[in-house]
Amino acid sequence: MTNETPEINIETPLKRAENILFSEIDQDKVMIDIERGAYFGMNPVAGEIWDLLEAPLTPQQVIQKLMSLYEVDAETCQTETLQVLQRMVRLKLVEVAG
């Protein structure tokens, strides 16, 4: 087994990791990795990304949905969404689907 974090790109299908429990507190999401006993908090936009990944989506699909919800330019949305998704993958909150 490897500890390497997979690199993702705009077309990498992603999904929520199955071992993550989550709850919403005010407008933030709080999560626990039940296998590692690790806790995580997410701001509202990262929480929206988490919600979108209830079913597998590519980053491009996530970006399109976020752009329909928020007033943000495409370049900023793509850059910041990919950063959030890569961090979620690194923290094992999200994994490559398939």
Domains of the chain plus CATH, in order, are 14-92 (3.90.930)
Q: Name the 3-class secondary structure at 78.
A: helix
Q: What percent of the chain has pLDDT over 90?
A: 85
The helices-and-strands tally (H runs, E runs) of the chain is 3, 5
Adjacent-strand bridge partners of 29? 24, 42
Q: Name the 3-class secondary structure at 24.
A: strand
Please, which pLDDT band fits residue 3 given cuts at 50, 70 and 90? low
Strand-pair category, 38-42 with 28-33? antiparallel
d(CA 73, CA 88): 22
pLDDT digits (tens, 9 = 90+) for 40-68: 999 999 999 999 999 999 999 999 999 99
